[in-house]
Chain A
Amino acid sequence: MLSPDLVILTAVAYVGLLFLLAYLSDARARRSDAGFLRSPFIYTLSISVYCTSWTFYGAVGTAARSGLEFMAIYMGPTLVFVGWWFVLRKLIRISHAQRITSVADLLSSRFGKSSHLAVLVTLIAVITITPYIALQLKAITTSIQAVSLAKSGGGLDDVQLALGVAIGMAGFTILFGTRNVDAREQHHGVVAAIAFEAVVKLLALIAVGIFVVFSLGGGPVAVFDRAMAAGLDIHEQAPFGSRWVTVLLLSACAVICLPRQFQITVVENSNEDHLRTASWAFPGYMLVMSLFIAPIALYGLATMPAGSNPDMFVLTLPMSAGHDWLALFAFIGGFSSATSMIIVASIALSIMVSNHIVVPIALRHSGNLEAAGERGIARLLLRARRISIAALLGLGFLYFLLAGDSNALAQIGLISFAGVAQLLPAMIAALYWREATLRGAFAGISAGFVVWAWTSFLPSFGTSAETVAALMREGPWSIRLLRPEALFGMEGLDPLVHSVFWSLFFNVTTLVFVSLTTSQGVMERIQAALFVDVFRRGAGAQPHLIHASVTTEELFFVAERVLGWTRAKAFFEEYDVPRSHGVESFVASPDFIAELERALASSIGSASAHILLSKVVAGDIITLEEVMRIAGETQQVIEYSHELEQTSQELRETAQKLREANALLHELHRQKDDFLSQVSHEVRTPMTSIRSFSEILLTENDLNAASRERFVSTIHRESVRLTRLLDEILDLNALEHGERSWDNVPVDAELVLDRAIAVCEALAQQKGMRIENGPRAARGVVSTDADRLSQVFINVIANAIAHNDAPSPRVRIESRIEGGNYVVDIADNGSGIPEEFRRTIFDKFVRAGRSAAGSAPTSGLGLGLNISYKIMEKMQGRLELVDMPRPGACFRLTLPLLRQPAEA
């Protein structure tokens, strides 16, 4: 048997170890060496603060009394964690974005940064959690008694023990839980201690379990057999029913809403991805933890003397087998689970109390911020937190003192769960229902809380207070319909099921009804959008909440009060905002003010931060309305941005078209330049010779007649060439701009071709060559202008004559009717068009190389074919260069025949 002194000494030594651990971790973290402290497994272990002494000792007791119900308490959280992707991830994302510091801050921030709602939630949390803290104190004292009972005969004073534990825990929490005011700065020391305690309690329970099941009981099957032999029912007494579902629901709510769970899971989370590990590791942790619960309970029931407390089987079973050290280890495990709950719960509650009750009151009632001095608000916060930790533990102790001996405490675990579950409807609405209003949330939570207090909390005193017992029997003023455990006559239900049903029923219906009948304020609408649409891309674009009618100096003054000079300076420098004197005219940007508000919120909560900034920033209301008018609801913003996207798509297309048009214009411009320079070049050559010959004629008086004659004829020839060139250019210009109109009349193209051949005959004879007539069509009536067509024929034939370099040059002309077209082929036997010119031969100023060599000055300007080509186009015909088996070039002219063959 263990002496009480040894047990207490062990507990004190253990707490000392926790102090050391927390101290070392804090020191490590401050050296920015917190690598392993931020690992997902430390995070997961710290979440197991969920398993308090109530689950450590009480699970065995529950298993002994009511079968498998204890499993529901772990399986609710399991369901929440395996579904992390939907609720917890969103909660953490929002809380990181909005710098949420507590569950009260979350609700207050979502519902328009309302400080009233924050106060309500804080009060509810304090009222529901304080008895829970008392329960931990009771567990510790009971376990110390149990471990040391046999020897001392129960000589220890419960009250003194509890007081000692409360003071010790307050000391630890104040020391490591209030090192800084920024709740977003994680309490590394505390988290490390909690994670360590999580390992200790798991190992302790497993050690006891293995010892009981395998060493004492001889294996799990043997344990069940022995229990059956002892006349116990190893199966569920009653079928699973509404109580099972209720416990499942409550535990699922609790793991989200309990202030300590919120603190650890959301606020202390340093990386959203850690949730990934916790999603399976935390359920796994609880699974391992509950493996041995039922066998321990059954073995205890079967072997321990009747009347022994099943809650303490974890301790008494090893002791009765003489394994005191194992019992001591189990005691440390239970002690761990109790202390970790007390520490985290009191930190979470103290943050809520100081941020949502103390600071707003201080801000409202002291108009004089100057008096606060540097970090005045921060100091106020720290002091408030330390005092509230002490006060909370004091309250817990007081509750323990008043109700410690009654059965009130034993039930408080689930009652407390049912209390915080009243926050869940509002939280779900906060995350997923855009239309939920502040009034709805406030009314819903209030209604649920009142019903909970009436149907659940009050009856927990029923056994210790006679007035309460009477109230429960008769109802208030003898109105039997309002009896706490049979509200509106609903009798025969399990009290917990009854209470949860009515409280959540009133909670949800009030929330929905009031939300639908009231409207949101501007700030609410903004915050609702930020919360509900946190995963939507671009939702990060915060509307500018506070208009910048404030100088940076005033802002710095405020920041300094909260953050301290060093951090305020760093913050301002990070955003490149000057803050010294003489830059009063520098107006802070709305973005910067929004950032500053969030930085302050991480210390003092969103509602307080908003109040604080609103105090120095004047006239933000109008701007707020303006913002809303412009942005409307997020829906509108999204539609707008969608429209914007479309518009910008159109703009892009238009720009693309413009670019193409521009490129075309550039190309045309370049062509025009080319054309001009070609023309100048072409004009310059004859002009030069005209000038030089006329100069000779003017200056040289003694020229003989022959020379004079030659010079004059050269001048004449060049002028003719020049004139022709200018004519052609004019012609081309007219063709291109469609200025020269002609009358298309039915014409027999054969006659035109004959005339053209006759004209070219002289030219051919000049060069000593023949024009051969191939097979000819009888007649081909087309709609055309005879002169123009003749021009084309002459041009092509003349080209064939002029450029023919064969020894016995010939030009062969054929015509035929083919597929409704009149076709003329004009071929020569020259060297043909070189390959590189075949493509461009119809362009302006293109001359196939052989004539460009400049044989005869009259040999073409490079415009003829271009003009012909354009004329043919105008007559719906074609001029093309065709391949032929013989050497030489062959031009083919095609014209559509006139539809009705004219009689003529």
Chain B
Amino acid sequence: MVGHGHGPGPVPGNGGKKLAEATLILPLLGAAFLMPAFLNLFTHRSRLFGLPLEVLYLFFVWFALVLAAFLVSRRLKSDAPSAAPERHAEHERPAGIG
């Protein structure tokens, strides 16, 4: 249920753009799956593998979000400006305060 929603995978061509959009769908989809309407589908007091179903469901959604964020963040192209070197230079300025 969660799986198919955030598995865009690597998209050739304008994959960067699509992945950037995927980062918006992640929190929205995650929020949707955490709304009571969804959660209460799993609160009929049943156990799966000996564990309460709602606990399993919450951890499953959570884990899926982490995994998806991991995949997306690895493939998403950085558009960071040359901030890093600039800030680096800033640090090397004499910091004679202390």
Asked if residues A79 and B31 are in contact (CB atoms below 8 Å), the reply is yes
Asked if residues A240 and B97 are in contact (CB atoms below 8 Å), the reply is no
Asked if residues A224 and B24 are in contact (CB atoms below 8 Å), the reply is no
Number of interface residues of B (CB under 8 A): 52
Is residue B14 contacting chain A, with contact meaning CB distance below 8 A? no
Shortest distance from the beta carbon of B96 to any chain A beta carbon, whole Å: 5
Asked if residues B40 and A79 are in contact (CB atoms below 8 Å), the reply is no
Which residues from B are CB-within-8-Å of A235? 43, 45, 52, 54
Partner of B95, one of A185, A283, A375: A185
Asked if residues B69 and A82 are in contact (CB atoms below 8 Å), the reply is yes
Within A61-87, the residues touching B (CB, 8 Å) are 68, 71-72, 74-75, 78-86
Asked if residues A224 and B47 are in contact (CB atoms below 8 Å), the reply is yes
Quick one: CB contact mask for B55-92 with A, threshold 8 Å, 1 for yes? 10011001101111110111010111101100100111
Which residues from A are CB-within-8-Å of B59? 287, 291
Residue of B nearest to A272 (CB): B80
Is residue A717 contacting chain B, with contact meaning CB distance below 8 A? no
Interface class of chain B by DSSP: helix
Alpha-carbon distance A842/B81, docked complex (angstroms): 64
Residue of A nearest to B96 (CB): A566
Asked if residues B27 and A82 are in contact (CB atoms below 8 Å), the reply is yes
Alpha-carbon distance A570/B94, docked complex (angstroms): 8
Is residue A641 contacting chain B, with contact meaning CB distance below 8 A? no
Alpha-carbon distance A296/B70, docked complex (angstroms): 29
**Given A184-B90, A239-B36, CB of A82 within 8 Å of CB of B23:** yes
Is residue A236 contacting chain B, with contact meaning CB distance below 8 A? yes
Which residues from A are CB-within-8-Å of B69? 81-82, 279-280, 283
Shortest distance from the beta carbon of A829 to any chain B beta carbon, whole Å: 69
Which residues from A are CB-within-8-Å of B36? 239-242, 244-245
Asked if residues B65 and A276 are in contact (CB atoms below 8 Å), the reply is no
Asked if residues A82 and B65 are in contact (CB atoms below 8 Å), the reply is yes
Asked if residues B26 and A83 are in contact (CB atoms below 8 Å), the reply is yes
Partner of A378, one of B30, B87, B97: B97
Within A28-82, the residues touching B (CB, 8 Å) are 30, 32, 34, 68, 71-72, 74-75, 78-82
Asked if residues A244 and B39 are in contact (CB atoms below 8 Å), the reply is yes
Quick one: CB contact mask for A260-279 with B, threshold 8 Å, 1 for yes? 00000000001111001101
Which residues from A are CB-within-8-Å of B68? 82
**Given A85-B23, A240-B40, A567-B96, CB of A78 within 8 Å of CB of B73:** no
**Given A234-B52, A240-B39, A273-B78, CB of A283 within 8 Å of CB of B97:** no
Alpha-carbon distance A204/B90, docked complex (angstroms): 38
Which residues from A are CB-within-8-Å of B63? 287
Which residues from A are CB-within-8-Å of B70? 280, 284
Which residues from B are CB-within-8-Å of A30? 95
Partner of B97, one of A180, A221, A234, A570: A180
Quick one: CB contact mask for A86-104 with B, threshold 8 Å, 1 for yes? 1000000100100000000
Shortest distance from the beta carbon of A704 to any chain B beta carbon, whole Å: 98
Is residue B20 contacting chain A, with contact meaning CB distance below 8 A? yes
Interface residues on A, range: 35 or more
**Given A83-B26, A570-B94, CB of A78 within 8 Å of CB of B83:** no
Residue of A nearest to B50 (CB): A221
**Given A181-B97, A225-B50, CB of A280 within 8 Å of CB of B91:** no
Asked if residues B34 and A80 are in contact (CB atoms below 8 Å), the reply is no
Asked if residues A276 and B76 are in contact (CB atoms below 8 Å), the reply is yes
Shortest distance from the beta carbon of B39 to any chain A beta carbon, whole Å: 4
Shortest distance from the beta carbon of A173 to any chain B beta carbon, whole Å: 15
Is residue B93 contacting chain A, with contact meaning CB distance below 8 A? yes
Shortest distance from the beta carbon of A808 to any chain B beta carbon, whole Å: 77
Alpha-carbon distance A378/B98, docked complex (angstroms): 10
Which residues from B are CB-within-8-Å of A135? none
Partner of A276, one of B31, B73, B87, B97: B73
Asked if residues A283 and B52 are in contact (CB atoms below 8 Å), the reply is no
Within B17-31, the residues touching A (CB, 8 Å) are 20, 23-24, 26-28, 30-31
Is residue A294 contacting chain B, with contact meaning CB distance below 8 A? yes
Asked if residues B66 and A283 are in contact (CB atoms below 8 Å), the reply is yes
Residue of B nearest to A599 (CB): B90
Is residue A746 contacting chain B, with contact meaning CB distance below 8 A? no
Number of A-B contacts (CB under 8 A): 149
Which residues from B are CB-within-8-Å of A564? 96-97
Is residue A816 contacting chain B, with contact meaning CB distance below 8 A? no
The interface centre, meaning the residue of B51, B74, B80 with most chain A CB atoms within 10 A of its CB, is B80
Alpha-carbon distance A78/B64, docked complex (angstroms): 11
Which residues from A are CB-within-8-Å of B39? 239-240, 244
Asked if residues A283 and B58 are in contact (CB atoms below 8 Å), the reply is no
Residue of B nearest to A185 (CB): B95
Shortest distance from the beta carbon of A192 to any chain B beta carbon, whole Å: 16
Which residues from B are CB-within-8-Å of A71? 58, 62
Asked if residues B24 and A96 are in contact (CB atoms below 8 Å), the reply is no
**Given A270-B87, A567-B94, CB of A75 within 8 Å of CB of B23:** no
Alpha-carbon distance A592/B3, docked complex (angstroms): 52
Which residues from B are CB-within-8-Å of A80? 27
Shortest distance from the beta carbon of A501 to any chain B beta carbon, whole Å: 15
Residue of B nearest to A270 (CB): B87
Alpha-carbon distance A570/B45, docked complex (angstroms): 68
Which residues from B are CB-within-8-Å of A844? none
Alpha-carbon distance A93/B86, docked complex (angstroms): 13
Quick one: CB contact mask for A687-703 with B, threshold 8 Å, 1 for yes? 00000000000000000
Alpha-carbon distance A284/B39, docked complex (angstroms): 21
Asked if residues A273 and B80 are in contact (CB atoms below 8 Å), the reply is yes
Partner of A78, one of B45, B62, B97: B62
Shortest distance from the beta carbon of A798 to any chain B beta carbon, whole Å: 71
Partner of A83, one of B27, B58, B94, B97: B27
Partner of B87, one of A85, A271, A535, A570: A271
Asked if residues B78 and A221 are in contact (CB atoms below 8 Å), the reply is no
Is residue A182 contacting chain B, with contact meaning CB distance below 8 A? yes
Given contacts A78-B65, A82-B66, A239-B39, 7 further A-B contacts (CB under 8 A): A32-B92, A82-B65, A83-B24, A85-B76, A535-B79, A564-B97, A567-B95
- A–B Cβ pairs within 8 angstroms, 25 of them: A78-B30, A78-B65, A82-B27, A83-B28, A93-B81, A182-B97, A220-B51, A221-B50, A221-B51, A224-B51, A235-B54, A236-B43, A236-B54, A239-B43, A240-B39, A244-B39, A271-B84, A272-B80, A272-B84, A277-B73, A280-B69, A280-B73, A283-B62, A287-B62, A566-B96
Binding site for B on A (CB under 8 A): 30, 32, 34, 68, 71-72, 74-75, 78-86, 93, 96, 179-182, 184-185, 220-221, 224-225, 234-236, 239-242, 244-245, 248, 270-273, 276-277, 279-280, 283-284, 287, 291, 294, 375, 378, 535, 564, 566-567, 570-571
Binding site for A on B (CB under 8 A): 20, 23-24, 26-28, 30-31, 34-36, 39-40, 43, 45, 47, 49-52, 54-55, 58-59, 62-63, 65-70, 72-74, 76, 78-81, 83-84, 87, 90-98
Per CB-CB distance, the 5 closest pairs between chain A and chain B, nearest first, are A83-B27, A221-B50, A85-B23, A280-B69, A280-B70
